[in-house]
Amino acid sequence: MNLDDQKQWFEKKLLARFLRYVRVETTSNKHTTSIPSSKGQLHFAAMLLNELKSLQIPQAALDENGFVSAILPTSSPSLKQQTIGFIAHLDTSPDVTGTHVEPIVHENYSGKALMLKQGIRLSPHDSPILKNYLNQTIITSDGTTLLGADDKAGVAEIMTALEFLKNHPQIPHPNIEIIFTPDEETGRGMTKFPIKHIKSSVCFTVDGADEGTIEVECFEAYSLKITLRGQSIHLGDARGKLVNAVELAARLVEMLPKNESPQATDERFGYYSCVELQATIEHAQLEILIRDFNPKECKRRINVVASMIRTLERLYPGAKGKLKIKKQYSNMWRSLKAYPKLVTILEQAIRRTGVIPKRKYIRGGTDGARLSEMGIPTPNIFTGGHNFHSYLEWIALPAMVRAAQTIINVAELWSSVED
């Protein structure tokens, strides 16, 4: 089937779904151990479950941890019965507020800067890709919140592709499993992933950015939790006695190499990033993220931070430091390099939409990185969104259409692939 003939259907369905989804607050909360970490994610999950049931998608279910799943049976029993999965996450980043999101639909984009509230200005000078969508529909927030395209665009694209395949049984496809996951942004959701119940032999996360991109490589990732303990005493009697944990924390952050920070690196260079700091005179806690494509570089940075803590203990007699190291995820390429046909199929699927596929690496991670470690190879497909985790987040409707069509093309192409 020529999906271009259905362009208006895709635009209408995607726009309505996306606008409805982003208005549901699903900001994740990394300061709680519960999964999902926020009630809004459960509300959104229940909403999607009802939508799946209304579409009569079989085996639609919601578990106690907020995972939504369903399976669309193969279009024909004669086709291969291998199941493939598509995944997107329910939560949005806590870096920018997601409360009371009010999306703005900018039709017939003129190429000029888009003026949002509070003086926020989305300009092609800062986001040159905007110029690729002249006279097209652009969606932003009103400038007071993030938009939520990461990853409600992926959810909308999967749901729309699923509805299209349900309504067009003549399109060949294998069994299609969909999974919507909580707490991707905190990195904790996959600890409860229902791996024992998953039928898919391969999956695809729909959580990428630039239109046409395929991502099969990501950072190695560690979280360092640092506890610094000082010695408190009345400030009037502090000379020679006080060890201020606030100063210890500030000194440690200052010691991090500035040329190895996120704002100073790009491409394949990794970084240190202090993402949270809480401190009193007696006690301080920091979280530092370590990222690199090379695991040896991650280990080097971890050793550097450990050395910094020892240095602080020597410089400030009485100070005590403790380092807790947590591996968050591994470079998905370790698993995906053994499955070259995944990339081949993705490239063919994207070309069918009229876009040239681009293979990129992620300066971050996805649920697919964790799932690949679990034994299910999971590359990442674009959503079409830009400026994630920002007031300047935006997405173009034509890119969303092609993302949904890519999902359909992947399913159709997979139905003819030999095991």
Q: Render pLDDT for 372-384 as a digit per residue (tens, 0 to 9).
A: 999 999 999 999 9
Give pLDDT, residue 408: 97
- Mean pLDDT across the stretch 212-224? 96
Residue 92's pLDDT is: 97
**Where do the structural domains in the chain lie, given as residue ranges?**
3-218+331-414, 220-329
* Per-chain mean pLDDT for the chain: 95
Among 228, 209, 361, which residue's Cα sits nearest to residue 288? Answer: 228
Helices marked H in 55-191: 149-167
pLDDT tens digit sequence for 226-253: 999 999 999 999 999 999 999 999 999 9
Distance CA 419, CA 85 (A): 16
Looking at residue 418, what is its pLDDT?
A: 61
Residue 81: what pLDDT? Answer: 67
Residue 91 is predicted with a pLDDT of 97
Predicted confidence band of residue 115 (pLDDT cuts 50, 70, 90): very high
The amino acid that residue 73 corresponds to is P
What's the topology of domain 3-218+331-414?
Aminopeptidase (3.40.630)
Interatomic CA distance for residues 341 and 357, integer angstroms:
15
Segment 311-321 mean pLDDT: 97
What is the mean pLDDT of the segment spanning 119-144? Answer: 95
Report the side by side order of strands in the sheet with 61-62: 61-62, 68-72, 176-181, 84-89, 202-208, 380-382, 213-218, 358-362
pLDDT value for 331: 94
Q: Which pLDDT value is given to residue 76? A: 80
Q: Is the pLDDT assigned to residue 312 strictly greater than 70?
A: yes
Average pLDDT over residues 326-354: 94
pLDDT of residue 5: 83
pLDDT reported for residue 4: 77
Task: Judge whether residue 419 has pLDDT over 60.
Answer: no
Q: pLDDT at position 242, please?
A: 96
Rounded CA-CA distance 264/373 in Å is: 30
Question: Above 60 in pLDDT, residue 222?
Answer: yes
CA distance 132 to 138: 11
Question: 220-329 is classed in which CATH architecture?
Answer: 2-Layer Sandwich (3.30)
Q: Which among 256, 234, 232, 266 has a CA at the least distance from the CA of 246?
A: 232
Q: What is the tens place of the pLDDT at every residue in 147-159?
A: 999 999 999 999 9
Residues 59-92: pLDDT tens digits?
Answer: 999 999 999 999 999 988 776 668 999 999 999 9
- Window from 72-81, 345-354, 383-392 with minimum mean pLDDT: 72-81
Of 399 and 194, the one with more pLDDT: 399
Cα gap 217→192, rounded to integer Å: 23
Instruction: Report the C-alpha gap between 198 and 83 in whole angstroms.
Output: 9
Whole-angstrom CA distances from 320 to 124, 231, 307 are 49, 9, 13
Q: What is the mean pLDDT of residues 124-148?
A: 96
> Which tens digit of pLDDT belongs to each residue from 165-199?
999 999 999 999 999 999 999 888 888 998 988 99
What whole-number percentage of the chain has pLDDT above 90? 90
pLDDT of residue 415 exceeding 90, the answer is no
What mean pLDDT comes out for the span 186-214? Answer: 92
Tell me the catalytic residues: 91, 184
- Going by C-alpha positions, the residue among 120, 176, 35 that lies closest to residue 394 is 120
